[in-house]
C-alpha cells in the first residue's frame, strides 16, 4: 500500500509556480530523499504533504484517498519535523512534549514514561525542566524529533532534521532514519546533506525550480548522470555555476579595495 | 492506517482532556507571551499583583462619589492588559507551526482559545477589582451605614466594575478580530501598532478626565447631557446607581445600555475572532511576515553628509540607525514611548485648560503655560530612557559586543538619540507657538531655557548609563526601584514646576537668569565630574543585567513556575547572602 503519494502537485504563490507538477510516492519501508538547491520548492512540497498548505492543483493522497478528506485521521499517523524549530519559549522541553502527546490523545502514564525515556536517549534529561527559550538550536531540533516520534507514526516527514545537531546526535538520527525505513515506516526526508541522503534513502528525488529532475535510486541517478557519487550527479544536474570558480570570484571581491 | 486510528481519542474523557490541555496552553501563551527577545514579559503572578495595586491604593483615600473613578480604573487596567497582550490574544504563526500538524480539528483550537480568553478576562476582571471592591465600600460607606447597605454597596460595586472590565476586554478583542477579518494580513500587521497606540491614548484620556467627570455626572442635569451619556464608563456608573435603588429614570436607561453593551461586545468579540481565526489561521503558513521598511529607501548623498556631521564615528552611525529603526519598527518600543508621550500630552492639556480658564493676557506667559512643553518633553525623554532598557532580539547583540565600544561612546550615542527626539518639536512647535502668541523675544528665551534644561535632564538620565540602547537584557526588578520612582517624580516637579517659576521670575529681573545659568553650569560640571569618577572605576559596557533580591521576589510571584524552580531561586538567594 502506498502511504503517501503526490499526484502532479502544483503550488503557485505568484505567477511563477513554486512547485510545478511534482509526482512521487512513498510506501512502507521506503525512505525517499528530496534534495534541491535553496528555493527549489522542497519546503513547499513538505507543507503540502503535511496538509499545512493546499496545492493549487493536483492532490496529496494517503492510502489512495485525498488527505483533505480526513486531515485529522491522516495527521494521526504522521510524524513531522519542520525546518525551523519554532517552539514555545516559555515551556520546558518536558512540558512541550507533554502538550504534543496529550493533544495526540496519548494516555498520560505511558506518555510520561515515553517522554522520560526519549529525553534520556536524546541527551536532554538534564534540561527537561528548563525553558525552551534557553535551548540551543540543536536541543530544539532534538525536541522536535522526539515530538515527531512519540506516537509511533507510520509516516514520517523530516525537513532538514540534522540542522543544528552535533556530530553524535546527527549520527544517531542518520541511523534512526535508516532503521525506521527497515521497520516498515514510510519516510520522506528533505535535506541538503547529500552524503546522508545517499546513505539512508532507498530512492532520491532531485528538484530544481519546483520541478523534478531525477527520481530513482541513488545508484541509478549516478549511472544515468555518469557520475561517481550523488553529490557529483547533483552538481551535474542542478548547478548552473562552477563552484570552484565562484569561490575564486568571492575571494577576488574580498580583496578588492 | 488502522493501527493509528486506535490512537484517536475514543471517549469524551479523552476529548475533554485534549480540550483542557489546549485551553491551558492558550492561557499559558496569553500570560507568558511568546517572545524570545527578552523584551518586557511579566509572569502571571507578577502581572496580577501589579494590576491589583492601583485599585487597592485608590480605595484608601476614596469617598462615595469616586464610584465613577473606580469604573474607569477597571476599564483602563483591563483594557491596557488586552492591548499589551494584543499579539497573543489569537493563535499566531508559532501556534500554526506547532499545532496545525497535530490531529486536532482547527475549530477545537479556536474554541479552546475562546474559552481561554473568557477565563482570562474573568480572572483579570476579578483581579483588577478585588481589592477596590473590598476596601472601597469599607472606607466609603461603613462609618455611616447599616450592614445591609454596606453589603448592597459591595455587591453593586463589584458587579458594575466587573462588567466594565469585561466590556473593555471584549471591545479590544472585537477590534482585533474585526481588523483580522477586514484587512489583509500585511496591512493588519502594519495598522496594529497605530490602532493600539490610539486605544492607549483613549484609555489615558479616560483616566485623566475621570475626576472631573465624577463631578459632571453627579450634577442633577445629567439627564439633559446627551453627549456625557455616550461615554461607556457612564453607562456602568448608571448601572451601579440603578442597582443601588436610585429611582432617576436616567439611571435605568444607562443600566440598560450597560447590559446591552456588555452582551453585544461579547457577541461581537466572539464572532469577529471566530471569523478572523478562519481567515488568518489557515493562511499563516503562506503569509511571509517580512514587512516593508517604514519610510523611504531612497537616500541622498546630502543626507549622508548631514548624518556624518552629527554622528562622528562609524560605531555611532551604525548604532544610531539601528536605534531609530528599532524605535519606529518595534511595537513594544513604540507603545512605551507612545504611552509616556500620551501621559505627557494629557498632563500638559490639563495645564493648558487650567490656564485658559484662569485667563492670562500678560506680556509674559504664566508658569502653567510655560510648563506645557516641559511636561511633554520630560515624559518623552523619560519614556525614551526607559525604552533603551528594553532589548530587541537580545540574542542578536553579539554584533555589538564584537564592536568593542567604550561607555563614553554609548553615552554619546544615547544623548544624540534623545536630542533627535528633543530638537524637532522644540523648533517646529514650541518656538513658533510661543513666538506667535507672545512675540519672538519670549519664544526664543523660552525655547533656549527648555533646550538647556532638557539637555541637563538628558545628562541626568544618562549619568550611570553604560549600555548600547536596546541590546542589554531587560532590567530585573531592583530593590531600589521605589527610590528611582521617587527621583523621577521629584525630577518631574523640579522640571515642570520649578523651572517655569524661575523663568517667570527672571522675566522681571534678568539677574535671576544669571543665577539660573550659574546653577545649571554647576550641576552640569558636577554631573561631568561624577561620570568621570564612575567611568574611571568601571568603563565596561553592560550586556547582561544582573539580578538582585528583587528578582527573586518577582520570580516567586510568578505562579506559573514550579515549586522546584522557586526553591532553587530562594536557595540561590540565600547563598548570595540575601
Residue B34, pLDDT above cutoff 70: no
Greatest extent of chain B over all pairs of C-alpha atoms, in Å: 95
Residue B325, pLDDT above cutoff 70: yes
Grid cell in block for residue A37: 538547491
Chain B residues within 8 A of A52 when measuring between CB atoms: 96, 100-101, 285
Q: Which residues contact B177 (CB under 8 A, 6 or more apart)?
A: B90, B268, B269, B271, B272, B273, B274, B275, B276
Distance CA A6, CA A21 (A): 9
Gap from B4 CA to chain A (nearest CA, Å): 5
Grid cell in block for residue B328: 519606529
Inter-CA distances, A47 with A5, A83, A185, Å: 14, 10, 20
Grid cell in block for residue A175: 541511523
Q: What is the pLDDT of residues B389-404, one digit of tens each?
A: 888 877 777 778 777 6
Weakest mean pLDDT among B127-136, B327-336, B355-364? B355-364
Gap from B570 CA to chain A (nearest CA, Å): 17
Residue B144, pLDDT above cutoff 70: no
Gap from B514 CA to chain A (nearest CA, Å): 56
Whether residue B101 and residue A103 make contact (CB cut-off 8 A), yes or no, is no
Residue given cell 447631557 in the structure block? B225
* CA B404 and chain centroid, separation: 33
Say what the pLDDT of residue B41 is: 54
Q: Which residues contact A116 (CB under 8 A, 6 or more apart)?
A: A125
Domain map (residue ranges) of chain A? 4-87+154-219
CA dihedral B242, B247, B253, B256 (to 10 degrees): 40
- According to DSSP, the β-strands at A203-208 and A31-35 are parallel
Whether residue A76 and residue B7 make contact (CB cut-off 8 A), yes or no, is yes
Whether residue A82 and residue B101 make contact (CB cut-off 8 A), yes or no, is yes
Distance CA B308, CA B302 (A): 10
Weakest mean pLDDT among A76-80, B245-249, B297-301? B297-301
Residue B570, pLDDT above cutoff 50: no
Please give the backbone phi and psi of residue A34, each rounded to the nearest 5 degrees, phi first: -120, 115
Say what the pLDDT of residue B461 is: 92
In percent, the amount of chain B with pLDDT more than 90 equals 24
Average pLDDT of chain B?
79
Whether residue B1 and residue A72 make contact (CB cut-off 8 A), yes or no, is no
Strand partners, A158: A81, A189
Q: What is the pLDDT of residues B501-536, one digit of tens each?
A: 998 888 888 888 888 889 999 999 998 888 888 777
Residue given cell 525550480 in the structure block? A209
Distance CA B458, CA B412 (A): 11
Confidence band, pLDDT 50/70/90 cuts, at residue B296: very low
Identify the residue with better confidence: A34 or B286: A34
Length of chain A (residues) = 257
Cβ(B410)–Cβ(B388) below 8 Å? no
Distance CA B129, CA B141 (A): 18
Confidence band, pLDDT 50/70/90 cuts, at residue B139: confident
* Residue in B46, B88, B98 to test binding to A, most A beta-carbons within 10 Å: B98
Say what the pLDDT of residue B287 is: 52
Q: Rounded mean pLDDT of B263-282?
A: 89
The arrangement of strands across the sheet holding A57-62 comes to A17-26, A4-12, A57-62, A65-66
* 3-state secondary structure string across chain A: CCCEEEEEEEEECCCCEEEEEEEEEECCCCEEEEECCCCCCHHHHHHHHHCCCCCCEEEEEECCEEHHHHHHHHHHCEEEECCCCCCCCCCEHHHHHHHHHHHCCCCHHHHHHHHHHHHHHCCCHHHCCCEHHHCCHHHHHHHHHHHHHCCCCCEEEEECCCCCCCHHHHHHHHHHHHHHHHCCCEEEEECCCHHHHHHHCCEEEEEECCEEEEEECHHHHHHHHCCCCHHHHHHHHHCCCCHHHHHHHHHHHHHCC
Say what the pLDDT of residue B298 is: 46
Identify the residue with better confidence: A255 or B51: A255
Distance CA B132, CA B75 (A): 13
Q: Is the ipTM of this complex over 0.90?
A: no
Say what the pLDDT of residue B210 is: 75
Confidence band, pLDDT 50/70/90 cuts, at residue B563: very low
Grid cell in block for residue A23: 509526482
Identify the residue with better confidence: B388 or B287: B388
Gap from B26 CA to chain A (nearest CA, Å): 11
Cβ(B434)–Cβ(B363) below 8 Å? no
Cβ burial B132-155 (10 Å sphere, 16+ → b, else e): bbbbbbebbbeeeeeeeeeebbbe
Identify the residue with better confidence: B44 or B456: B456
pTM of the predicted protein model: 0.70
Identify the residue with better confidence: B360 or B151: B151
B564 touches chain A (CB under 8 A): yes
A153 touches chain B (CB under 8 A): yes
| Per-residue pLDDT tens digits of chain A, which is 257 residues long | 788 999 999 998 877 889 999 999 999 999 999 999 888 899 899 999 998 888 999 999 999 999 999 988 899 999 999 988 888 888 899 999 999 998 888 888 899 999 999 999 999 999 999 989 889 999 999 999 999 999 999 999 999 999 889 999 999 999 999 999 999 999 999 988 888 999 999 999 999 989 999 999 999 999 888 888 888 888 888 876 777 888 888 888 888 86
Gap from A87 CA to chain B (nearest CA, Å): 7
Distance CA B435, CA A71 (A): 70
Please give the backbone phi and psi of residue B393, each rounded to the nearest 5 degrees, phi first: 40, 75
- Is the Cα dihedral A127, B49, B552, B546 positive or negative? positive
Q: Rounded mean pLDDT of B251-268?
A: 93
Say what the pLDDT of residue A59 is: 95
Q: Which residues contact B340 (CB under 8 A, 6 or more apart)?
A: B379, B380, B382, B383, B384, B386
* Residue in A72, A101, A105, A188 to test binding to B, most B beta-carbons within 10 Å: A105
Residue B225, pLDDT above cutoff 60: yes
Distance CA B213, CA B211 (A): 5
Chain A residues within 8 A of B101 when measuring between CB atoms: 50-52, 75, 78, 80, 82
Say what the pLDDT of residue A113 is: 94
Residue B77, pLDDT above cutoff 90: no
Inter-CA distances, B443 with A60, B439, B440, B457, B507, Å: 73, 6, 5, 21, 12
Grid cell in block for residue B479: 530593590
Residue B40, pLDDT above cutoff 50: no
Chain A residues within 8 A of B29 when measuring between CB atoms: 88, 90
Say what the pLDDT of residue B222 is: 63
Residue given cell 544517531 in the structure block? A172
Sort residue A58 into left (φ over 0), alpha (ψ -120 to 50) or beta: left
Q: Rounded mean pLDDT of B350-358?
A: 70
Please give the backbone phi and psi of residue B375, each rounded to the nearest 5 degrees, phi first: -65, -50
Identify the residue with better confidence: B316 or B59: B316
B107 touches chain A (CB under 8 A): no
Which range has the top average pLDDT, B74-88, B161-175, B240-254? B161-175
Identify the residue with better confidence: B374 or B147: B374
In percent, the amount of chain B with pLDDT more than 70 equals 76
Q: Rounded mean pLDDT of B82-99?
A: 87
Say what the pLDDT of residue B556 is: 38
Identify the residue with better confidence: A128 or B302: A128
Cβ(A210)–Cβ(A17) below 8 Å? yes
Q: Pick B4's closest partner by Cβ from A76, A103, A133.
A: A76
For domain A4-87+154-219, give its CATH number from 3.40.50.1220, 3.30.70.1400, 3.60.15.10, 3.40.50.300: 3.40.50.300
Residue B85, pLDDT above cutoff 50: yes
Nearest Cα residue to B378 out of B343, B424, B327: B343
Say what the pLDDT of residue B172 is: 95
Confidence band, pLDDT 50/70/90 cuts, at residue B283: low
The Cα angle at residue B289 between residues B273 and A101, in degrees rounded to 5 = 65
Weakest mean pLDDT among A178-192, B6-20, B493-507? B6-20
B4 touches chain A (CB under 8 A): yes
Say what the pLDDT of residue B560 is: 41
Amino acid at each position: 500500500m502506498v502511504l503517501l503519494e503526490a499526484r502532479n502537485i502544483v503550488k503557485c504563490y505568484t505567477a511563477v509556480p513554486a512547485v510545478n507538477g511534482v509526482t512521487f510516492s512513498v510506501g512502507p519501508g521506503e525512505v525517499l530523499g528530496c534534495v534541491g538547491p535553496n528555493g527549489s520548492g522542497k519546503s513547499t512540497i513538505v507543507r503540502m504533504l503535511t496538509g499545512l498548505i493546499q496545492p493549487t492543483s493536483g492532490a496529496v493522497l494517503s492510502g489512495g484517498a485525498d488527505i483533505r478528506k480526513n486531515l485529522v485521521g491522516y495527521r494521526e499517523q504522521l510524524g513531522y519535523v519542520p525546518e525551523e524549530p519554532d517552539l514555545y519559549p516559555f515551556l520546558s522541553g518536558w512540558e512541550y512534549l507533554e502538550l504534543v502527546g496529550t493533544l495526540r490523545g496519548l494516555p498520560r502514564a505511558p506518555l510520561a514514561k515515553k517522554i522520560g525515556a526519549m529525553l534520556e536517549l536524546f541527551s536532554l534529561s538534564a534540561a527537561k525542566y528548563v525553558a525552551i527559550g534557553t535551548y540551543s538550536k540543536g536541543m530544539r531540533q532534538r525536541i522536535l524529533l522526539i515530538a515527531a516520534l512519540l506516537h509511533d507514526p507510520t509516516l514520517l516527514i523530516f525537513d532538514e532534521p540534522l540542522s543544528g545537531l552535533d556530530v553524535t546526535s546527527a549520527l544517531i538520527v542518520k541511523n534512526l532514519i535508516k532503521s525506521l525505513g527497515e521497520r516498515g515506516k514510510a519516510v520522506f526526508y528533505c535535506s541538503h546533506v547529500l552524503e546522508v541522503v545517499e546513505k539512508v534513502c532507498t530512492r532520491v528525488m532531485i528538484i530544481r525550480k519546483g520541478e523534478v529532475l531525477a527520481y530513482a535510486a541513488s545508484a541509478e541517478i549516478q549511472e544515468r548522470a555518469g557520475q561517481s557519487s550523488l553529490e557529483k550527479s547533483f552538481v551535474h544536474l542542478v548547478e548552473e555555476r562552477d563552484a570552484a570558480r565562484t569561490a575564486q570570484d568571492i575571494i577576488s571581491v574580498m580583496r578588492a579595495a | 492506517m488502522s493501527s493509528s486510528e486506535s490512537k484517536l481519542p475514543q471517549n469524551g474523557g479523552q476529548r475533554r482532556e485534549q480540550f483542557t490541555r489546549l485551553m491551558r496552553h492558550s492561557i499559558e501563551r496569553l500570560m507568558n507571551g511568546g517572545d524570545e527577545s527578552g523584551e518586557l514579559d511579566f509572569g502571571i503572578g507578577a502581572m496580577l499583583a501589579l494590576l491589583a495595586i492601583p485599585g487597592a491604593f485608590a480605595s484608601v483615600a476614596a469617598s462615595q462619589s469616586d464610584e465613577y473613578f473606580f469604573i474607569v480604573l477597571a476599564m483602563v487596567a483591563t483594557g491596557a492588559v488586552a492591548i499589551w497582550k494584543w499579539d497573543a490574544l489569537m493563535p499566531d504563526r508559532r501556534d500554526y507551526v506547532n499545532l496545525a500538524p497535530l490531529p486536532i480539528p482547527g475549530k477545537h483550537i479556536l474554541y479552546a482559545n475562546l474559552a481561554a480568553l473568557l477565563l482570562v478576562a474573568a480572572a483579570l476582571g476579578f483581579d483588577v477589582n478585588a481589592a477596590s471592591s473590598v476596601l472601597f465600600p469599607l472606607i466609603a460607606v461603613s462609618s455611616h451605614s447599616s450592614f445591609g447597605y454596606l453589603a448592597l454597596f459591595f455587591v453593586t460595586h463589584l458587579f458594575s466594575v466587573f462588567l466594565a472590565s469585561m466590556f473593555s476586554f471584549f471591545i479590544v478583542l472585537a477590534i482585533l478580530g474585526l481588523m483580522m477579518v477586514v484587512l489583509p494580513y500585511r496591512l493588519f500587521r502594519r495598522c496594529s501598532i497605530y490602532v493600539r497606540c490610539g486605544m492607549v491614548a483613549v484609555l489615558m484620556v479616560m483616566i485623566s478626565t475621570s475626576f472631573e467627570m465624577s463631578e459632571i455626572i453627579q450634577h442633577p442635569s445629567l439627564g439633559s447631557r446627551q453627549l456625557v451619556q455616550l461615554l461607556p464608563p457612564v453607562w456602568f456608573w448608571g448601572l451601579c446607581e440603578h442597582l443601588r435603588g436610585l429611582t432617576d429614570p436616567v439611571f435605568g436607561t444607562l443600566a440598560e445600555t450597560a447590559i446591552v453593551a456588555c452582551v453585544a461586545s461579547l457577541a461581537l468579540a466572539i464572532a469577529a475572532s471566530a471569523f478572523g481565526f478562519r481567515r488568518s489561521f489557515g493562511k499563516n503558513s503562506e503569509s511571509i511576515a517580512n514587512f516593508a521598511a517604514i519610510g523611504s529607501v531612497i537616500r541622498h548623498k546630502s543626507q549622508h553628509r548631514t548624518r556624518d556631521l552629527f554622528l562622528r564615528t562609524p560605531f555611532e552611525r551604525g548604532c544610531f540607525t539601528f536605534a531609530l529603526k528599532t524605535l519606529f519598527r518595534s511595537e513594544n518600543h513604540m507603545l512605551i514611548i507612545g504611552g509616556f508621550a500620551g501621559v505627557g500630552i494629557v498632563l500638559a492639556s490639563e495645564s493648558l485648560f487650567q490656564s485658559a480658564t484662569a485667563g492670562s493676557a500678560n506680556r509674559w506667559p504664566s508658569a502653567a503655560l510655560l510648563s506645557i512643553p516641559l511636561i511633554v518633553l520630560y515624559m518623552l525623554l523619560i519614556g525614551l530612557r526607559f525604552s533603551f532598557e528594553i532589548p530587541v532580539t537580545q540574542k542578536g547583540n553579539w554584533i555589538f559586543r564584537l564592536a568593542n565600544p567604550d561607555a563614553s561612546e554609548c553615552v554619546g550615542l544615547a544623548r544624540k538619540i534623545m536630542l533627535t527626539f528633543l530638537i524637532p518639536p522644540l523648533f517646529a512647535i514650541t518656538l513658533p507657538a510661543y513666538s506667535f502668541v507672545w512675540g519672538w523675544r519670549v519664544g526664543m528665551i523660552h525655547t533656549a531655557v527648555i533646550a538647556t534644561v532638557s539637555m541637563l535632564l538628558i545628562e541626568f538620565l544618562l549619568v550611570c548609563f553604560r549600555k548600547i540602547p536596546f541590546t542589554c537584557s531587560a532590567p530585573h526588578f531592583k530593590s531600589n526601584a521605589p527610590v528611582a520612582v521617587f527621583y523621577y517624580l521629584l525630577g518631574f516637579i523640579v522640571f515642570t514646576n520649578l523651572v517655569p517659576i524661575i523663568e517667570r521670575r527672571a522675566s522681571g529681573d534678568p539677574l535671576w537668569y544669571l543665577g539660573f545659568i550659574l546653577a545649571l553650569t554647576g550641576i552640569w560640571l558636577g554631573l561631568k565630574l561624577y561620570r568621570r569618577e564612575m567611568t574611571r572605576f568601571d568603563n565596561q559596557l553592560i550586556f547582561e543585567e544582573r539580578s538582585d533580591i528583587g528578582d527573586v521576589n518577582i520570580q516567586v510571584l510568578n505562579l506559573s513556575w514550579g515549586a522546584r524552580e522557586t526553591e532553587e531561586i530562594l536557595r540561590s538567594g540565600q547563598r548570595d547572602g540575601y
